[in-house]
């Protein structure tokens, strides 16, 4: 009797073939999009935290704030406008007319999140509270950058420009990045942006939190940015 049951079970197993099928692409993309937006929102909160500490701003934010002083644009709109100009120039330099979707999302959403979060983040009047907020914001920004990069939807417009110039000219990445940051600072200073000790502090320290954040986010979010396989059983 047991032998007969065992034989039947083997027969059923042979008739059943387990196949693997990838999850729908839209579901995979939406999960990556959600992760990217979490990272962009955290990064945007940190951006606002740095310039509302009032001890300086990041090189690009010196330019963005300087632009708001001469136009009716909000900070977020200035960030979006500069991002689009940078993207167009990067595409022209690299002869690539369609950037990664993540690049466009970065431009639009960072500006939106910055304007939305600005009223929620304190504007400091005393330098010691400002210094504390600035340091915390830099650390938080590193993790926000790490999360959005871990989503694997593409680099931001400034990184796209850096890569395009590197490929076009052959200059080392470190020199290209330095020249881009210096150009942003000079443009911001000419427009009256808040260049101060915080700008120098940001430039010297942002690399470390970004490295920590990227390592952490890659480890934590890696399983979520892989397209999953589903098991299906088919009867022959």
Q: What is the pLDDT of residues 12-49, one digit of tens each?
A: 444 445 566 877 877 888 999 999 999 999 999 999 99
Residue 229 falls within a domain, yes or no?
no
Q: Which of 148, 121, 126, 144 is nearest to 51 (CA)?
A: 121
Whether 102 and 154 have beta carbons less than 8 Å apart is answered as yes
**Residue 100: what are its φ and ψ, rounded to 5°?**
-60, 145
Read off the pLDDT band of 236 (50, 70, 90).
Answer: very low
Read off the pLDDT band of 95 (50, 70, 90).
Answer: low
Query: Which tokens go with 154?
Result: 């593409």
> Which tens digit of pLDDT belongs to each residue from 158-170?
888 888 888 888 8
Whether 117 and 65 have beta carbons less than 8 Å apart is answered as no
Quote the mean pLDDT of the chain.
86
Residue 186 falls within a domain, yes or no?
yes
Query: Which tokens go with 34?
Result: 């959600």
pLDDT score recorded for residue 131: 95
Q: How many residues can be counted in the chain?
A: 236
Average pLDDT of the residues in 110-124: 96
SS3 call for 155: coil
pLDDT score recorded for residue 154: 80
Q: Is the pLDDT of residue 129 over 80?
A: yes
Say how many domains are in the chain: 1
Dihedral Cα 35, 134, 76, 155, nearest 10 deg = -40
Q: Is the pLDDT of residue 215 over 50?
A: yes
pLDDT score recorded for residue 64: 97
Residue 200 falls within a domain, yes or no?
yes
Percent of the chain whose pLDDT exceeds 70: 87
Q: Which residue has better confidence, 12 or 79?
A: 79
Residue 189 falls within a domain, yes or no?
yes
Distance CA 153, CA 225 (A): 10
pLDDT score recorded for residue 15: 43
Read off the pLDDT band of 235 (50, 70, 90).
Answer: very low
Whether 47 and 148 have beta carbons less than 8 Å apart is answered as no
Average pLDDT of the residues in 173-183: 85
Side-chain-side CA neighbours of 102 within 13 Å: the count stands at 24
pLDDT score recorded for residue 6: 52
Q: Is the pLDDT of residue 5 over 80?
A: no
Residue 175 falls within a domain, yes or no?
yes
- pTM reported for the whole predicted model: 0.83
**Residue 64: what are its φ and ψ, rounded to 5°?**
-60, -45
Domain that holds residue 159: 38-224
Q: What b/e string do you get for 144-166 counting C-beta neighbours within 10 Å, with b at 16 or more?
A: bbbbbbbbbbbbbbbbbbbbbbb
pLDDT score recorded for residue 102: 87
Residue 9 falls within a domain, yes or no?
no
Residue 10 falls within a domain, yes or no?
no
Percent of the chain whose pLDDT exceeds 90: 51
Query: Which tokens go with 12?
Result: 């059923």
Residue 25 falls within a domain, yes or no?
no
- Helices marked H in the chain — which ranges? 2-15, 25-51, 59-68, 75-94, 101-117, 127-150, 157-169, 173-190, 197-205, 207-221
**210 Cβ contact list (under 8 Å, min separation 6):** 141, 142, 145, 146
């Amino acid at each position: 009797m047991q032998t007969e049951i065992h034989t039947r079970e083997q027969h059923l197993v042979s008739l059943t073939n387990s196949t693997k099928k990838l999850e729908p692409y839209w579901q995979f993309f939406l999960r990556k999009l959600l992760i990217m937006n979490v990272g962009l929102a955290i990064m945007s909160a940190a951006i606002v935290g740095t310039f509302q500490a009032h001890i300086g701003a990041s090189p690009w934010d010196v330019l963005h704030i300087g632009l708001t002083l001469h136009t009716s644009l909000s900070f977020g709109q200035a960030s979006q406008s500069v991002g689009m100009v940078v993207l167009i120039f990067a595409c022209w330099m690299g002869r690539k007319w369609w950037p990664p979707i993540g690049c466009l999302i970065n431009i639009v959403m960072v500006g939106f999140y910055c304007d939305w979060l600005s009223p929620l983040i304190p504007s400091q009047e005393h330098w010691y509270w400002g210094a504390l907020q600035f340091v915390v914001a830099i650390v938080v920004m590193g993790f926000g950058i790490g999360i959005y990069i871990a989503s694997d939807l593409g680099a931001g417009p400034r990184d796209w420009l850096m890569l395009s110039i590197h490929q076009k000219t052959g200059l080392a990445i470190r020199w290209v990045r330095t020249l881009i940051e210096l150009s942003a600072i000079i443009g911001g200073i000419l427009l009256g942006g808040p260049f101060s000790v915080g700008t120098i502090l940001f430039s010297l320290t942002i690399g470390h939190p970004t490295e920590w954040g990227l390592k952490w986010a890659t480890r934590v979010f890696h399983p979520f940015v892989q397209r999953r396989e589903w098991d299906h059983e088919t009867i022959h």
